[in-house]
Amino acid sequence: MKTELIHLSELSPEAYDKALEKAAEYIRAGELVGIPTETVYGLAGSAYHADAAPKIFAAKGRPSDNPLIVHIAKSTDAENIAYTNPVYYKLAERFMPGPLTIILPKKPIIPDTVSGGLDTVAVRCPSHPIARALIEISGHPIAAPSANTSGKPSPTTAEHVYDDMCGKIPLILDGGPCSIGLESTVIALNGDKCTILRPGAVTEEMLSELCTSVTVAEAVKSPDKAGSKPLSPGMKYKHYAPNCQVVLLDGTEDECIAYIQNHASGKYGVLAADENTNAYPEKAHVLSLGGRDDYAEHCRRLFDLLRKADELQLETLYARLPEEKGLALAYYNRIIRAAGGNIVKANENLK
Among 34, 36, 45, 67, binds ligand AMP (CB under 6 A): 67
CA-based R_g, the chain, Å: 20
Q: How far apart are the first and last CA of the chain?
A: 55
Note whether 68 binds ligand AMP by CB under 6 A.
Answer: yes
Q: Which residue is nearest to ligand AMP (CB)?
A: 234
Using DSSP's 3-state secondary structure scheme, residue 57 falls into helix
Q: What is the dihedral of CA 144, 146, 147, 151, to 10 degrees?
A: -130
Strand 69-71: give its sheet, edge to edge.
4-7, 171-174, 33-35, 42-46, 142-143, 69-71, 120-124, 100-105, 185-190, 193-198, 213-216
Q: Minimal CA–CA distance to 339: which of 239, 252, 272, 268?
A: 239
Note whether 168 binds ligand AMP by CB under 6 A.
Answer: no
The stretch near Mg ion (CB under 5 A) out of 78-86, 140-148, 188-196, 271-279 is 140-148
Q: Where are the alpha helices (DSSP H) in the chain?
A: 13-28, 52-60, 86-95, 112-115, 129-138, 158-165, 204-208, 218-221, 253-263, 295-311, 328-338
Among 24, 53, 59, 122, binds ligand AMP (CB under 6 A): 122
At 237, give phi and psi (nearest 5°): -95, 150
As measured in angstroms, the least distance from the Cβ of 102 to ligand AMP is 10
**Roughly what angle, to the nearest 10 degrees, separates helices 295-311 and 328-338?**
20
Please choose which of Mg ion, ligand AMP, none residue 298 contacts, taking the beta carbon within 5 to 8 angstroms, the exact cut-off set by kind: none
Note whether 146 binds Mg ion by CB under 5 A.
Answer: yes
Instruction: Please check whether residue 69 is in contact with residue 101, taking contact to mean a CB–CB distance below 8 angstroms.
Output: yes
Closest CB to ligand AMP among residues 124, 320: 124
The stretch near ligand AMP (CB under 6 A) out of 114-122, 172-180, 274-282, 304-312 is 114-122
As measured in angstroms, the least distance from the Cβ of 233 to ligand AMP is 4
Among 23, 73, 172, 186, binds ligand AMP (CB under 6 A): 186
Note whether 101 binds Mg ion by CB under 5 A.
Answer: no
Closest CB to ligand AMP among residues 114, 247: 114
Please choose which of Mg ion, ligand AMP, none residue 32 contacts, taking the beta carbon within 5 to 8 angstroms, the exact cut-off set by kind: none
As measured in angstroms, the least distance from the Cβ of 198 to ligand AMP is 6
Residues of this chain that interact with Mg ion (CB under 5 A) are 146
Residues of this chain that interact with ligand AMP (CB under 6 A) are 66-69, 103, 115, 118, 120-122, 145-146, 183, 186, 197-198, 232-234
